[in-house]
């Protein structure tokens, strides 16, 4: 993967694009380049690229890349896995000659052939910008699932875009924090797209293009792909074919094993990573490198399961033991790596750091399997809660009042859910929330909206009644996966110049699973039965039968123990930073105090969410001062 940046302005100079590129140099430290394009009518457009060597390491694949006619110039971040097929099609249907072996030139010439229809032909993860000098237009594009990020901002006669928000801030955009983004972060532990933490900075929606007329600076955003789980065109397949699913899964893995640099896979011993390793090991002619970040605390260790899978498939396995001491030492650097605050991303930072240090440049990840194959507890709890919608409203209101008076997190969440419309959207929103409305009002000292209202601002409920399991799959893809998992994994893996590939998010597989009846995705005593029946048939039995478990650090004992001094500094000595965020310092301190005292209703996630926001804000301020002093 790489990093891209661009700015359009009548005032900007090459120094601006160079500063933007430097801020994302970690995404591509192996090479860099930029070009400018000027016109008396609109000023200057600068396009910059930071390159990470993965495919075709020669100068022939350097970016920005301009086609032979001089009409199109491209900067691109991502991988196109059907590049070989597109290349052959271009050769058959036109006079195209290729100087490089990578996919950048293929994408550039595909656009010259098919224009705005090109994204529909691509299989992979990508974010790119193409300048069309003939039409005087700039096109931005982001892949279907939002695996690769692309942010943009427009102010008067200026426009900028980049792979990370920090590059836009360096260019002078996003001068103030977004209060709505802060509220969204407190609600879900990450900021819902298209919002960001900065006012006026947005994420280009997944599966979309943004067309910019350089002279008039008018813009047009268009979707070229919709989440099929949430589409009104949803059609359930009458017959399910296990062989067809297995072919799609194996092909998604196979095409992501192509690399000119060291490649391996994360291996926790869970179903997702184990199935990937099982499939990859059968395809490769040499042993696959596998990797586990593990903990000395026995209750958090997954070493036994990972080693069983490694032995089964003959991988070169490496276990890296990680302690709270190592965490404390690296914490300041880790906080600087976060482009936006997230309660969930610290694990991604450290596992990717360890993978890079072990010699990998590309790693396979099982991210996306839970969303497609109904692996989370939300898929069982959500549909069960729908019976409450049939209760008379006065009874639900009474029940909500009783539940909201309880101290436990579960009771309070149920109380907020019952007080709403008891829809599947509402159920999902509450289950995925961190701070409920009452707690956010306490922190922000202002009115806010419920988790359900937040969710409805981004997704509707058009097809939930047809197949609730598949509808929840769509919500997980659209919300938690995109806003938290993929965003964190991208920015924190690229902080270490590590490319992470996600076979389960091959769009062909996503579309297939959207048309697979939801009831087939659940089975008593077995997590993700369809995945196990296809790729997991040869897995050790104890790995298949183990209960679902996410990758998490020992947060509670660390927060109360080794991290206590850090917590005290954030909650008791940082009043001005809380006020910058619009949060009451006394309210934040009170929540931390309740957690220390072991009071019901406050969990480690509440404290960690606030801590990460405060420390992110502090790291942001430190970075801004450093840039100002350097200038």
> What's the half-sphere exposure (Cβ side, CA atoms, 13 Å) at 182?
24
Confidence (pLDDT) at 547: 76
Separation CA 499–CA 490 (nearest Å): 8
Confidence (pLDDT) at 99: 87
End-of-domain residue from the set 458, 475, 507: 458
Q: Indicate whether 545 belongs to any domain.
A: no
Q: Which domain holds residue 142?
A: 3-225
Yes or no: say if 208 and 186 are a contact pair by the CB < 8 Å rule: no
- How many other C-beta atoms are found inside a 10 Å radius of the C-beta of residue 466? 12
* Mean pLDDT, the chain cut into blocks of 10 residues (631 residues total): 92 91 97 92 91 92 94 97 94 82 94 96 98 96 98 92 97 95 97 96 98 92 94 69 93 96 94 95 94 87 94 94 89 94 94 93 97 93 74 74 73 78 86 94 94 83 74 94 97 97 97 93 91 92 80 86 92 86 96 91 94 92 58 46
Indicate whether 440 and 569 sit together in one domain. no
Output the CA torsion sign for 91, 96, 98, 101: negative
Confidence (pLDDT) at 466: 72
Confidence (pLDDT) at 412: 80
Active site residue 2: yes
Indicate whether 433 and 560 sit together in one domain. no
For the record, the structure tokens of 133 come out as 């000098």
Indicate whether 68 and 189 sit together in one domain. yes
Q: Provide the domain count of the chain.
A: 3
Separation CA 116–CA 138 (nearest Å): 11
Separation CA 406–CA 125 (nearest Å): 45
Question: Quick one: which of 200, 140, 195 has its CA closest to 172?
Answer: 200
Q: Indicate whether 363 belongs to any domain.
A: no
Please identify which of the residues 2, 275, 352, 543 carries the catalytic annotation: 2
Indicate whether 73 and 179 sit together in one domain. yes
End-of-domain residue from the set 458, 479, 509: 458
Which CATH number covers residue 151? 3.60.20.10
Output the CA torsion sign for 625, 157, 197, 365: negative
Yes or no: say if 196 and 165 are a contact pair by the CB < 8 Å rule: yes
Confidence (pLDDT) at 631: 46
Indicate whether 586 and 451 sit together in one domain. no
Q: Indicate whether 505 belongs to any domain.
A: no
Separation CA 497–CA 517 (nearest Å): 39
For the record, the structure tokens of 501 come out as 């590939």
CB environment 29-47: b (16+ within 10 A), e (fewer):
eebbebbebeeeebbbbbb
End-of-domain residue from the set 431, 458, 485: 458
User: Which H or E run includes 131?
Assistant: strand 124-132
Confidence (pLDDT) at 297: 84
Strands 201-203 and 151-155: antiparallel
Confidence (pLDDT) at 463: 62
Confidence (pLDDT) at 421: 76
Confidence (pLDDT) at 236: 65
E strand segments, 10-135? 31-39, 43-51, 65-66, 72-80, 124-132
The single residue listed with the structure tokens 């990717």 is: 352
Q: What is the pTM of this model?
A: 0.94
């Amino acid at each position: 993967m790489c990093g891209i940046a661009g700015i359009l302005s009548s005032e900007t100079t090459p120094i601006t694009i160079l500063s933007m590129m430097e801020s994302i140099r970690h995404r591509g430290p192996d090479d860099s380049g930029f070009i400018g394009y000027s016109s008396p009518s609109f000023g200057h457009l600068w396009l910059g690229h930071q390159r990470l060597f993965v495919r075709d390491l020669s100068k022939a694949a350097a970016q920005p890349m301009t086609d032979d006619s001089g009409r199109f110039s491209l900067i691109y971040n991502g991988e196109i896995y059907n590049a070989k097929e597109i290349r052959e099609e271009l050769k058959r249907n036109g006079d195209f000659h290729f100087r490089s072996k990578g996919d950048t030139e293929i994408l550039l010439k595909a656009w010259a052939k098919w224009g705005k229809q090109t994204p529909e032909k691509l299989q992979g993860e990508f974010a790119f910008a193409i300048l069309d000098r003939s039409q005087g237009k700039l096109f931005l594009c982001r892949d279907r699932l939002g695996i690769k990020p692309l942010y943009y901002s427009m102010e008067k006669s200026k426009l900028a875009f980049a792979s990370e928000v920090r590059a836009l801030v360096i260019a002078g955009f996003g001068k103030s924090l977004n209060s709505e983004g802060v509220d969204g972060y407190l609600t879900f532990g990450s900021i819902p797209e298209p919002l960001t933490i900065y006012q006026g900075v947005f994420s280009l929606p997944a599966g979309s293009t943004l067309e910019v007329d350089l002279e008039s600076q008018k813009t047009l955003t268009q979707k070229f792909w919709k989440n099929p789980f949430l589409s009104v065109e949803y059609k359930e397949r009458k017959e399910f074919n296990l062989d067809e699913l297995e072919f799609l899964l194996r092909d998604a893995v196979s095409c992501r094993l192509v690399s000119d640099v060291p490649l391996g896979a994360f291996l926790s011993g869970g179903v997702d990573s184990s199935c990937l390793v099982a499939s990859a090991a059968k395809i490769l002619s040499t042993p696959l490198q596998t990797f586990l970040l593990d903990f000395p605390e026995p209750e958090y260790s997954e070493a036994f399961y990972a080693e069983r899978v490694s032995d089964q498939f003959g991988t070169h396995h490496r276990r890296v033991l990680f302690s709270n001491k190592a965490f404390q030492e690296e914490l300041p650097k880790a906080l600087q790596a976060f482009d936006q605050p997230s309660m969930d991303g610290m694990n991604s930072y450290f596992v990717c750091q360890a993978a890079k240090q072990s010699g990998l440049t590309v790693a396979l990840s099982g991210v996306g399997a839970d969303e497609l194959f109904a692996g989370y507890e939300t898929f069982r709890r959500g549909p069960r809660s729908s019976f409450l919608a049939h209760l008379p409203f006065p009874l639900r209101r009474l029940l909500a009042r009783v539940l909201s008076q309880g101290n436990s997190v579960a009771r309070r969440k149920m109380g907020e859910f019952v007080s709403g419309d008891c829809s599947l959207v509402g159920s999902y929103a509450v289950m995925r929330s961190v701070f409920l409305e009452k707690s956010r009002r306490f922190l922000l000292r202002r009115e806010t909206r419920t988790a359900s209202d937040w969710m409805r601002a981004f997704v509707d409920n058009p097809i939930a009644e047809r197949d609730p399991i598949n509808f929840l799959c769509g919500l997980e893809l659209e919300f938690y996966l995109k806003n938290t998992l993929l965003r964190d994994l991208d920015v924190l893996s690229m902080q270490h110049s590590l490319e992470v590939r996600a076979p389960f998010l091959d769009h062909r597989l996503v579309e297939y699973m959207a048309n697979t009846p939801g009831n087939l995705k659940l089975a008593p005593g077995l997590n993700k039965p369809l995945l196990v029946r296809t790729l997991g048939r040869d897995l050790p039995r104890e790995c298949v039968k183990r209960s679902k478990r996410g990758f998490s650090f020992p947060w509670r004992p660390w927060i109360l123990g080794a991290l206590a001094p850090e917590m005290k500094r954030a909650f008791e000595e940082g009043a001005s930073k809380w006020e910058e965020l619009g949060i009451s310092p006394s309210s934040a301190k009170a929540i931390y105090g309740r957690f220390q005292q072991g009071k019901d209703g406050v969990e480690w996630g509440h404290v960690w969410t606030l801590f990460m926001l405060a420390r992110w804000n502090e790291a942001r301020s430190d970075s801004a001062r450093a840039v100002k002093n350097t200038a």
